[in-house]
Amino acid sequence: MNERQHLPHLHDMSEEELVGHIPSVETIAAVSEAMKQLGDPSRLRIFWLLCHAEECVQNIASAMDMSSPAVSHHLRLLKSAGLIVSNRKGKEMFYRAADTDLVASLHHGIEQIASISCMD
């Protein structure tokens, strides 16, 4: 049971061809989760910043013109998603982009899309 129904209509592409290799739900979940985090302008800017520098919360807040609780909240989400890492230096907590293939790919994609979308 729980078998998918056949396609209502068949056009150019066969059902097998169309539905055959949709990415798994796990893959879709992983990709959309990463995209979701960067779908918020505040988090995208923070992530972009942390791809270029390691900074403490206050400086991030200042650069982004946000309150530190707000920044902290976004940092927690980015960290939960594995996009950034933190390490404490004295009483300050420093954040930077994680050194992973996923982050490298996202960073590259963002810069490419940015260069397409606009001109800075």
Query: In the beta sheet, which residues pair with residue 77?
Result: none
| Contact call for residue 76 and DNA (CB under 7 A) | yes
DSSP string, 35-100: HHHHTSHHHHHHHHHHHH--EEHHHHHHHHT--HHHHHHHHHHHHHTTSEEEEEETTEEEEEE--S
Taking the complex as a whole, the smallest distance from the CB of residue 76 to a copy of itself amounts, in Å, to: 17
Taking the complex as a whole, the smallest distance from the CB of residue 31 to DNA amounts, in Å, to: 14
Among 1, 12, 16, 99, binds a copy of itself (CB under 8 A): 12
| Contact call for residue 116 and a copy of itself (CB under 8 A) | yes
| Contact call for residue 44 and a copy of itself (CB under 8 A) | yes
Q: Which residue matches tokens 């940092």?
A: 75
| Contact call for residue 93 and DNA (CB under 7 A) | yes
| Contact call for residue 4 and DNA (CB under 7 A) | no
Per-residue burial over 3-40, b = 16 or more CB atoms within 10 Å of its CB, e = otherwise:
eeeeeeeeeeeeeeeeeeeeeeeeeeeeeeebeebbee
Q: Give residues 82-101 in contact with a copy of itself (rule: CB under 8 A).
A: 92, 101
Closer residue to a copy of itself in complex, CB, 13/76: 13
From the list DNA, a copy of itself, none, which binds 75 (C-beta under 5 to 8 Å, kind-based)? DNA
